[in-house]
Amino acid sequence: MLKAERVAYILERLQDLYPDPPVPLDHNDPYTLLVAVLLSAQCTDERVNQVTPALFATADNPFDMAQLSADAIREIIRPCGLSPQKSKAIKRLSEILVEAYDGEVPADMAALEELPGVGHKTASVVMAQAFGVPAFPVDTHIHRLAQRWGLSSGKNVTQTEKDLKRLFPEECWNDLHLQIIFYGREFCTARGCDGTTCEICRTCYPDRKRPKKTRKA
């Protein structure tokens, strides 16, 4: 199967499986999504969704969050891990949003990336899921599957993102990154598939005999 054929098949199959992929992190607006995505670093979405109700009941906007101490935030978000760094980042970015953006989350990639604790992936998720701007956030699931499916040989998520953006139409990016994540969690897991087991791996590479080694992000 040629790469163009793999791309077309993957698009069609993922659309069949996940025609309307939901945002996996519970949120009410761009600010609560931003905080939830920040908390999801090295933490499962399920755990974040267990923690954010208590956090947002205390403060669900940058004005109220900026009034909390980092220690108070840390006590609530502790189950998410990395709570010392994340609590300081949440407090400081909330202060910046109040001081520089009238309490609004900017719909601008560069501005988002300047906020404490907000890297390119987090900013991309917010741009895609909060503002509907085409972006292709790449996490470990997407990085792994892109290699198994012969879409990228990138050594890191930055290169993988560039490769995927070149292969897939821009209008598909926002749904597609979620669809790949859901498929990776359900069918093409790190341990459950080695590049020869799941439906898409078998279809893209029916003659593959050995496990596909993938580079970690």
CA distance 41 to 84: 13
CA angle 180, 159, 187 (to 5 degrees): 20
Residue 121 designated active-site: yes
Residues 6+ apart with CB under 8 A from 28: 56, 60
The domain ranges of the chain are 3-20+136-204, 30-129
Top-tier CATH class for 3-20+136-204: mainly alpha
pLDDT score for 155: 87
Per CATH, the number for 30-129 is 1.10.340.30
CA distance 69 to 213: 45
pLDDT score for 73: 98
Catalytic residue among 26, 45, 108, 139: 139
pLDDT score for 1: 87
Helix axes 70-77, 45-58, angle to 10 degrees: 140
Output the CA–CA distances (angstroms, integers) from residue 213 to 145, 153, 181, 194, in the order listed.
Answer: 11, 11, 19, 8
Residue 139 designated active-site: yes
User: Which backbone phi and psi does 198 adopt, to 5 degrees?
Assistant: -75, 165
pLDDT mean for each 10 residues of the chain (217 residues): 95 98 96 98 95 98 98 97 97 98 98 97 97 94 94 92 97 97 95 94 95 82
Catalytic residue among 60, 86, 91, 121: 121
DSSP symbol at 41: T
